């Protein structure tokens, strides 16, 4: 079955540094992959989508890479701020159905 894994350990970094989060998947070739932000007690908020034929996508301080050979996506936040502290989820999109398979999320803590 499809499996998607994120580093379950919290990531603690200093304000201003770049945060890098990893998402690995197995047994699937997604058409695209999405990253979401989730704050405690709230629903996920869409951040970025990257398609299988795209290597990299940027949006302001966010950058996502997608390596279909390694079956891995990296999510970067540059010049991190305490307000970036949250749980970040990656999700595979099942072809033809639009169904999302979520990783368990990585909690990022940016210290001032």
Options 63, 73, 80, 105; binder of another protein; rule CB under 8 A:
105
Options 41, 69, 96, 112; binder of another protein; rule CB under 8 A:
41
The verdict on 103 binding another protein (CB under 8 A) reads yes
Q: How far apart are CA 29 and CA 95, in angstroms?
A: 9
The verdict on 96 binding another protein (CB under 8 A) reads no
Options 15, 16, 17, 45; binder of another protein; rule CB under 8 A:
45
Please compute Rg for the chain using Cα positions. 13
Instruction: Kindly tell me the sign of the dihedral angle through the C-alpha atoms of 94, 22, 73, 85.
Output: positive
Nearer to another protein, 14 or 97 (CB): 97
Report which of 62, 31, 30, 61 is spatially closest to residue 48, judged by C-alpha positions. 62
């Amino acid at each position: 079955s499809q499996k998607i894994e994120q580093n379950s350990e919290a990531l603690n970094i200093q304000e201003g540094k770049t945060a890098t989060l990893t998402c690995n998947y197995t047994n699937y070739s997604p058409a695209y992959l999405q990253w979401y932000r989730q704050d405690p007690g709230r629903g996920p908020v869409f951040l970025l989508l990257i398609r299988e034929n795209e290597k990299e996508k940027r949006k302001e301080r966010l950058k996502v890479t997608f390596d279909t050979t390694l079956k891995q996506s990296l999510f970067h936040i540059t010049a991190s701020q305490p307000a970036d502290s949250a749980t970040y989820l990656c999700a595979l999109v099942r072809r033809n159905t639009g169904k999302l398979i979520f990783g368990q999320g990585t909690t990022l803590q940016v210290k001032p």
